[in-house]
């Protein structure tokens, strides 16, 4: 009997160095929650389900919520074709605790919006596998390994 794949899509996450900065400000418990959330998203056949909201004024910037307090700022690009596969890539920019002090926020200016569009435009990427490797892309299994330790 032939095995039928439920989904031919593969999910990856690319983590910005600044995401690591955000993680380093969190306690172990919150870090674990973030890792678990990223695992859940990447392990899903419908990763878009976990996008909680977009930033008003910039639809390209998305937020994944973890509990009441943690927010993961990201951009999910779906269905990037390569040979017979389709890739979903979650770009993860930053994480921190929700609830901000006035004066600690910055503006998402036009340049940053253009960067977001540039990042998520895969038309110029000839080899997605090479791109993912070059950008240290991680799978659900990567995060599962950290949770199992």
Partner 1 sequence: MTKFEYGQDGKGEQPSIPEGVLKGIEDIVEGRTLSDEEFDDVLDF
Report the relative pairing of strands 51-55 and 70-82 from DSSP bridges.
Answer: unpaired
Closest contact distance (angstroms) between CB of 15 and partner 1 is 4
Of 7 and 100, CB closest to partner 1: 100
Please return the burial class of 8, using the count of CB atoms within 10 Å of its CB with bins 0-12, 13-18 and 19+: exposed
> Taking CB under 8 A as the rule, which mask of x and - marks residues 20-49 in contact with partner 1?
xxxxx--xxx-xx--x--------------
Which residues have a Cβ under 8 Å from the Cβ of 29 and sit 6 or more positions away? none
Residue 55 touches partner 1, criterion: CB under 8 A:
yes
Q: What does the alpha-carbon distance between residue 109 and residue 58 come to, in Å, rounded to a whole number?
A: 10
Which of 77, 119, 122, 144 binds partner 1 (CB under 8 A)? It is 119
**Helix, strand, or coil here: 139?**
coil
Which residues are at the interface with partner 1 (CB under 8 A)?
14-24, 27-29, 31-32, 35, 51-58, 61, 63, 73, 91-94, 96, 100, 102-110, 112, 115-116, 118-119, 134-136, 138, 142, 146, 149
């Amino acid at each position: 009997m032939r095995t039928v794949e439920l989904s031919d899509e593969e999910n990856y996450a690319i983590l910005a160095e600044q995401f690591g900065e955000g993680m380093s400000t969190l306690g172990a418990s919150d870090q674990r929650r973030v890792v678990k959330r990223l695992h859940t998203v990447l392990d899903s056949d419908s990763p878009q389900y976990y996008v909680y909201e977009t930033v008003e004024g910039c639809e390209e910037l998305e937020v994944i919520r973890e509990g009441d307090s943690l927010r993961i700022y990201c951009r999910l690009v779906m269905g990037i074709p390569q040979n017979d596969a389709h890739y979903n890539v979650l770009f993860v920019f930053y994480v921190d605790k929700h609830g901000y002090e006035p004066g600690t926020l910055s503006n998402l200016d036009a340049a940053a919006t253009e960067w977001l569009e540039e990042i998520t435009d895969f038309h110029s990427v000839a080899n997605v596998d090479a791109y993912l490797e070059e950008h240290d892309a991680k799978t659900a299994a990567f995060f599962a390994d950290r949770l199992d330790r």
